[in-house]
Amino acid sequence: MRVIISGGSRGIGLEIARQLSIAGHELLLVGRNGESLAEARTSLGGNALVFTADQTSEETPDRLIIYMKEHQFQPDVLVLNAAAFFDDTRSVTEPKGEELERILLANVVSNYNWVRTLLPLIRQGEYPRILVIGSTAGLRADTSLYGISKAALRNYTLGLREELKPAGVGVTLIHPGGTFTERRVPNERTAPDRLLEGSDIGLLVAAILSLSPQAVVEELTVRPMLGDTF
């Protein structure tokens, strides 16, 4: 299969890319940082296309389509992994409205725009699937703007699943709990042995894409053994 991964240059996105590469899928990684994308491509043995872009830009999906046509890359699967986390107030009353708008743009609106633009291509794929990486922060009473954005993303994705059933496009939503990445600063609550490994999510995605065409995993939650840490 040919798979697009947003936010594919590091963290969970890169681990998804690793596992899909091992499984023999062709990859197109999208990210903001060209240097990180180049390093990711090298770590995958050079077996991936890379596209540098800001996911929140409305122009990005159209530019990506042009790039795919130039490289004869007909996507089967879209993995929406890119997300922003820049709210550390742990409050849903103190941040200004513009801060909420900013994180909703990054974590919800941009994904909406990607699906709206890329869906015609995905529908032409041999195994049309859209996988969305959510968060357990969107499943509970989380006092953060990030939690609000992930709850909104969940509602959107579940609606997308219902709307695309007749079209034969499978939609999957995965909620990871705390996951160790290179960006986390280790402390008592975020030590590597207290968190999921990025490869856990990558292995789940690879397994989901190995199912029969008539099988769709609709929603999946995976947490560390001792539960959430944030």
194, part of any domain: yes
Tell me: pLDDT of 192 over 70: no
For residue 176, the domain's CATH number is 3.40.50.720
200, part of any domain: yes
Tell me: pLDDT of 80 over 90: yes
The percent of residues in the chain predicted with pLDDT above 70, rounded, is: 93
pLDDT digits (tens, 9 = 90+) for 24-61: 999 999 999 999 999 999 999 999 999 999 999 999 99
For all residues of the chain together, what is the average pLDDT? 93
| Band of pLDDT at residue 230, cut at 50, 70 and 90 | low
227, part of any domain: no
Sheet holding 219-222, edge to edge: 49-52, 26-31, 2-6, 77-80, 129-133, 170-176, 219-222
3-state secondary structure of 23: coil
Give the mean model confidence (pLDDT) for residues 92-117: 95
Q: Is the pTM of this model over 0.85?
A: yes
228, part of any domain: no
229, part of any domain: no
How far is the CA of 60 from the CAs of 45, 69, 80, 90, 147, in angstroms? 26, 14, 14, 31, 25
Which one is predicted more confidently, 74 or 89? Answer: 74
CB count within 10 Å of CB 42 equals: 10
pLDDT digits (tens, 9 = 90+) for 136-187: 999 998 779 999 999 999 999 999 999 999 999 999 999 999 887 765 555 5
Q: Residue 52: enclosing H or E segment and its boundaries? A: strand 49-52
Q: Domain count of the chain?
A: 1
Which domain, by its residues, includes 132? Answer: 2-222
H-state helical runs in 88-131: 97-104, 110-123
Residue pair 169/119 in contact (Cβ under 8 Å)? The answer is: yes
